[in-house]
A and B are shown apart, each in its own frame.
Chain A
């Protein structure tokens, strides 16, 4: 266990070093969420006036937690890129032929993605604040929202890494982004109050980890939501994180059988 923790720290440092050497990628990942935040925030400003839209805030305030989580999920979906690059070189084989902890390889990748996602979440929140969004949840609310960001990022980085290990192909990650994360974003309450969506969308959203994170974030920023609206989704996300990390680490074994 001590070895695994130490390996996690060493490998996380390696991953962050790599990110810090090409910071432009972090900025590029922010372009899309900024467009969503600023364009959607302006374009659909009057959506909140539709009868039944259960929010007394502005539309910008409504979608900010959704955009924060979207940034986290979309970024994490590409986490496996590093694994693919390590596999294309002999770096992954070298790690696997050495006593490097498999769990540490997985958790380090998740941790590095979480750090990136936290920085990006703070940027999105800052831009929303500059555009006039105000949240009653205060710093405590922001802290809880960031917890959701970390857990959501962990889930989708583990999924992305598992895809990378099983296929060894960057194309598989494109598939993950297009076929899984994008639909998950629309099958949630990120940009529309579920009470105004078809009933089946609201039903699907109940099983959607992305929606758990959005609901957690919105309740946390709202400040007046009952604790269960935060703790419930947080518990689900934490459970999903543990399960996904375990499943993804098992993918090392599947790879060992197939190579």
Chain B
């Protein structure tokens, strides 16, 4: 990476006290860099430390140990300077429902140090850009989910931050609103050279937007790199077989693990997944023949190039969706 790093994180440690139980180590030495002017995707299972990392980088909480620089400024020593350079959009709505969209933007701008006139002009500009002009003077309470989320991001951008933290910006949005948000995030990095740190429930989103991914698990960084590099590193394709009968999954898994050229066999519900190490063209027929010989009915069989889901599964040992459902708990905690 030739671009200078917008964020440098070094050995962050954060421990939370839990009454009556040993303390929980949410971060256990997290280190990564985020290149400037690009999207960094921060991924990981529920409780892996994503939210804690974001809370530290946005100065909402302080690390027990370790250091970080955001936009070149030392985080722990100069939190006020970091706050002026950061924008932060929490996973929950960040606007006041009892104010209008315009009032929210103007207040946010003024608190960030813009003068009255500059704040009004910036609010107009953002309302236009996020297609909220018609709703500008309505109370946010009356906005749809997609409109409210666009306003959240607009509020985060009001002071033209160097680094924008987007915590699940598209959760709960319909496909149309999500596509709009993606286009806007791409515009921020491509045209305005802003650095965006993104957490998401959608690997598709990370795959499309992020130039660089950091996967955290158990408070540590377990993998990092460009999405394409991570996929290439897996080597081999993914075989997914759906068995016809619930009870047969375990047996199908055993059969698959004995087939030459298959590795990393996992089962989930009626699905058996594995990765090929030999030529996929040979392995799939061999697997189907072996299942047939073991009297396991097969409903479907597919072969795919590695996806980000496969990367995630192989690194964390868990399918991505499994962690996503419980994510809201982590957010609330």
Is residue B61 within 8 Å, beta carbon to beta carbon, of the partner chain? yes
Q: Does A94 contact B88, Cβ atoms closer than 8 Å?
A: yes
User: Are B93 and A89 in contact, with the CB atoms below 8 A?
Assistant: yes
A215 in the interface (beta carbon within 8 A): no
Q: A99 touching B112 by the CB < 8 A rule?
A: yes
* B159 CB contacts on chain A under 8 angstroms: 98
Please measure, in the bound complex, the distance between the C-alpha atom of A178 and the C-alpha atom of B90, giving whole angstroms: 34
A97→B58 CA distance, assembly (Å): 6
- Min CB gap A108→B, angstroms: 11
Contact B111 A97 (CB under 8 A): no
Cα-based distance from A100 to B152 in the complex (angstroms):
17
- Whether B90 pairs with A93 at a CB distance below 8 angstroms is yes
Closest A residue by C-beta to B96:
A91
A21-B98, A98-B83, A258-B16 are known contacts; what are 14 more A-B pairs with Cβ within 8 Å?
A6-B110, A10-B110, A14-B99, A14-B107, A17-B99, A90-B89, A93-B60, A93-B94, A94-B89, A94-B90, A98-B159, A99-B80, A99-B112, A259-B55
Which residues from A are CB-within-8-Å of B92? 88-90
Within 8 A of B (CB), among A82-110: 86, 88-91, 93-100
Which A residues contact B (CB, under 8 angstroms)?
3, 6-7, 10-11, 14, 17-18, 21-22, 86, 88-91, 93-100, 256-259
By the criterion CB–CB under 8 Å, are B93 and A97 in contact?
no
Which one, B61, B97, B113, contacts A259 given CB within 8 A? Answer: B61
Give the A-B contact count at a CB cut-off of 8 A. 84
Query: Nearest chain A CB to B100's CB is how many angstroms away?
Result: 10
* A97 touching B91 in the complex, CB below 8 Å, given contacts A10-B107, A14-B99, A18-B96: no
Give 5 CB contacts A-B under 8 Å: A14-B107, A94-B94, A95-B111, A96-B60, A99-B80
> Are the CB atoms of A97 and B86 closer together than 8 Å?
yes
B156 cross-chain contacts in A, Cβ below 8 A: 94
B251 at the interface (CB under 8 A from A): no
Asked if B242 is an interface residue, CB under 8 A from chain A, the answer is no
Asked if residues A257 and B62 are in contact (CB atoms below 8 Å), the reply is: yes
Tell me which residues across on chain B come within 8 A of A259, comparing CB atoms. Answer: 55, 60-61
Cα–Cα distance between A190 and B155 once the two chains are bound (Å):
47
CB closest residue in chain A, given B155: A94
Partner of B61, one of A22, A89, A99, A256: A256
B101-155 interface with A by 8 A CB criterion: 103, 107-108, 110-113, 139, 152, 155
